[in-house]
Structure 1
Amino acid sequence: MRTVFVAAAACLIVLTLGYLYRLVTGPTIFDRILGLSGFGTSTTIILTLMGCAYGRLDMFVDIALGYALLNFVGVLAAARYFERARG
C-alpha cells in the first residue's frame, strides 16, 4: 500500500511543475498568484500522501494544515496588496 501512496505523490509532483511554470513565467501578477495557490495546494496534498505512506498521518496532517493555512493567508495578502497597488 505504501507504494501506491508514493506513486501518487510522485505523479502529483510531476503535475505540480505546471503550477511552478505558471508561477515563474505568468504574464500577469494574478497568474503568478494563481500558480502560487495551486502549488501550495498540491504541496499540501503531497504532504498528506507522504503521511499515509510512512504511517504517520497524524503528524503529517498537522504539518499540511499549517502549511495550507499559511498558503491561504499569503495568497490572500498578496492578492489584496496587488489589487490595491493596481487600482
Structure 2
Amino acid sequence: MTFLDGALLICSILLALAAFGAVIRMIKGPALLDRVLAADVLLVVLASALIAKMVASRSTDHLALVVAITLIGFVGSVTVARFVQDRRRP
C-alpha cells in the first residue's frame, strides 16, 4: 500500500463519518438552521469526496461538478439566512 492509498483510505473513512453525522443532524434537527447547516456540510462532504476521487484517478473530470455543488451550497445557505433574517424582523 502506498502513501496515497493510505491517505485516501483515511480520507474516505473521515468523509463517511462526516456524512453520517450530517444526515443524523438533518433528521434530528431540532431547528431549521441546524438542518440547513447539515445540508451544507453534506454538500461539502460530497464535493470533498469528488476531489478525493479526482486525486486518486489523477484527472480533473469532475471539477465542473465540484464547482456547481459548492455554488449550490453557497446560494442555498445565503437564501435561507436571508429568509430567517426576514422572519425575525418585527
TM interval, short-chain normalised: 0.7 to 0.9
- Is 2:19 the partner of 1:13? no
Kindly, what percent of the aligned residue pairs are identical? 20
1:9 Cα deviation from its structure 2 partner: 2.4
TM-score (structure 2 length as normaliser): 0.78
Moved over 6 A (4+): none
Root-mean-square deviation (Å): 1.9
Structure number with larger C-alpha Rg = 2
Q: Which of 33, 49, 69 lines up with 1:67 in the alignment? A: 69
1:32 match? 35
Q: What SS is found at the alignment partner of 1:59?
A: coil
8 Å Cα contact 1:5-1:50 kept in structure 2: no
In structure 2, how many angstroms separate the alpha carbons of the residues matched to 1:24 and 1:84?
A: 25
TM-score (structure 1 length as normaliser): 0.80
In structure 1, list runs of 5 or more residues that go unmatched: none
2:82 match? 80
1:33 Cα deviation from its structure 2 partner: 1.3
2:56 match? 53
More helix by share: 1
In structure 2, how many angstroms separate the alpha carbons of the residues matched to 1:54 and 1:33?
A: 32
Higher RCO (CA-CA < 8 Å; seq separation 6+) = 1
How many residue pairs get aligned? The number is: 86
In structure 2, list runs of 5 or more residues that go unmatched: none
In structure 2, how many angstroms separate the alpha carbons of the residues matched to 1:50 and 1:85?
A: 41
